[in-house]
C-alpha cells in the first residue's frame, strides 16, 4: 500500500465492535475481516488478548490471529490489558499491540482490576515484550475526557499519562473517548495540550457516539492535529465496563465526512457500506449507522 493519506483510519469492528456482542464464530469474524479488507483500509484491530471470562467475545483471539496471514497488505493489531496479554499476542504472531491505561481509577479497577498507577507502571513490561518481538506499542488512554464513575477527566491528568506512557516505551499514543461524551471544543483543547506535551509522537483518537457528537469530535481532532482515527463498521461497539457507552463512530460515516471534504482516507465508501451490512449480518441485529440506513432507504 502506497501513498500519503490525509487521514489514517483504523478499523476496530472485529475487536471493539464485537466485544460487547454475544460471541460469534471465528468463521464469521473472518468474513467480517475480509469485507473490511475490501474497503482498502490499511489498519485493522483484529482482536483482543484479554480474559475470556471478562470478555467472552474475544475468547478466540489466537484462532483469529491464525487467519490474518491471508491479508499480508494490512497492518493488523490486537488490544491487551496486561503484560500477559501482550505475551499472548506476540506468541500468536501479532506484534502491533495496543495497551489500555484508563485515566479513571474507578474504571481501571473495573476494566483491568488494577489502579491507573498500577496499569501505567506495567507499560514498560508490555513495551519490552512487544519491542522484543520487533513490534510497536500504542498506549490508549481510556476515559481521556469523561468517566461514568468520576465525571470529567482533568486535561492535566490525561496529558500527564500520555507523557509518562511515552517515557515508559509507547511508540504511539491514542486518546479514548470511551463513553462518547466529548465535544469539539474540549477535543480541541485536549489534543492541543497533548500535541504540545509529546511533540513528534504519533497521536490518534478513538471516539464513541453516545451523545451524537462523535463525528464532530473526530473533525475537531483532525483540525487540532490528529491524523489517526479509529472507527467501526456500522458503528458497532461499546465498552463492557463503562455503563451507558454506545458504539463507535461508524467507519462509513467518517469516510464520507473526510472524503466529501476533499481529504483522502484511501477507503472506498461503497465497500464500507457493504462491510457495514456484513457487520449487521454477523451480529444479527441492526447497527447504529445513519448512513447505512439512508442508503437502504434510497435502494
The CATH number that applies at residue 164 is 3.20.20.70
CA distance 68 to 169: 26
- How many structural domains compose the chain? 1
Residue 145 banded pLDDT, cuts 50, 70, 90: very high
Q: Is 260 exposed, middle or buried (0-12, 13-18, 19+ CB in 10 A)?
A: exposed
Query: Is pLDDT of 213 > 60?
Result: yes
Tell whether 2 is covered by a domain. no
Give yes or no: 239 in active site.
yes
For the chain, the maximum distance between any two Cα atoms, rounded to a whole number of angstroms, is 53
CA distance 209 to 234: 12
Query: Is pLDDT of 1 > 50?
Result: no
pLDDT at 244: 61
pLDDT at 242: 61
Tell whether 1 is covered by a domain. no
Residue 210 banded pLDDT, cuts 50, 70, 90: very high
Which residue matches cell numbers 483532525? 222
Residues for the chain: how many in total?
299
- Dihedral sign computed on CA atoms, order 211, 212, 214, 216: negative
Tell whether 18 is covered by a domain. yes
Tell whether 110 is covered by a domain. yes
Query: Is pLDDT of 114 > 70?
Result: yes
Tell whether 223 is covered by a domain. yes
Q: What is the mean pLDDT of residues 48-60?
A: 95
Q: Which of 147, 174, 239, 272 is catalytic?
A: 239
**Grid coordinates of 179:** 463513553
CA distance 179 to 85: 24
Distances (CA, A) of 78 to 14, 29, 43, 44, 92: 10, 14, 11, 9, 10
Residue 75 structural domain:
8-298
What rounded mean pLDDT belongs to the chain? Answer: 95
Rg (CA), the chain: 17
Q: What is the pTM of this model?
A: 0.95
Tell whether 235 is covered by a domain. yes
Amino acid at each position: 500500500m502506497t501513498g500519503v493519506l490525509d487521514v489514517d483510519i483504523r478499523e476496530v469492528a472485529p475487536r471493539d465492535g464485537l466485544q460487547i456482542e454475544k460471541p460469534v464464530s471465528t468463521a464469521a469474524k473472518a468474513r467480517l475481516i475480509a469485507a473490511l479488507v475490501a474497503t482498502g483500509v490499511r489498519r485493522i484491530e483484529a482482536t483482543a488478548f484479554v480474559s475470556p471470562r471478562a470478555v467472552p467475545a474475544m475468547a478466540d483471539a489466537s484462532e483469529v490471529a491464525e487467519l490474518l496471514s491471508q491479508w499480508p497488505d494490512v497492518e493488523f493489531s490486537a488490544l491487551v490489558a496486561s503484560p500477559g496479554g501482550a505475551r499472548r499476542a506476540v506468541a500468536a504472531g501479532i506484534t502491533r499491540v495496543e495497551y489500555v491505561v484508563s485515566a479513571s481509577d474507578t474504571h481501571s479497577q473495573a476494566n483491568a482490576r488494577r489502579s491507573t498507577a498500577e496499569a501505567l507502571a506495567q507499560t514498560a513490561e508490555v513495551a519490552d515484550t512487544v519491542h522484543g518481538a520487533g513490534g510497536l506499542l500504542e498506549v490508549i488512554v481510556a476515559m481521556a475526557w469523561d468517566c461514568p464513575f468520576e465525571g470529567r477527566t482533568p486535561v492535566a491528568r490525561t496529558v500527564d499519562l500520555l507523557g509518562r506512557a511515552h517515557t515508559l516505551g509507547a511508540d504511539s499514543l491514542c486518546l479514548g473517548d470511551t463513553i462518547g461524551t466529548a465535544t469539539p471544543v474540549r477535543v480541541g483543547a485536549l489534543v492541543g495540550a497533548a500535541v504540545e506535551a509529546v511533540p513528534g509522537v504519533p497521536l490518534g483518537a478513538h471516539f464513541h457516539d453516545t451523545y451524537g457528537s462523535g463525528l464532530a469530535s473526530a473533525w475537531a481532532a483532525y483540525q487540532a492535529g490528529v491524523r489517526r482515527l479509529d472507527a467501526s463498521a456500522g458503528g458497532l461497539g461499546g465498552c463492557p465496563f463503562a455503563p451507558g457507552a454506545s458504539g463507535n463512530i461508524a467507519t462509513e460515516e467518517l469516510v464520507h465526512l473526510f472524503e466529501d471534504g476533499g481529504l483522502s482516507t484511501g477507503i472506498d465508501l461503497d465497500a464500507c457500506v457493504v462491510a457495514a451490512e456484513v457487520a449487521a449480518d454477523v451480529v444479527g441485529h441492526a447497527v447504529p449507522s445513519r448512513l447505512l440506513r439512508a442508503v437502504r432507504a434510497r435502494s
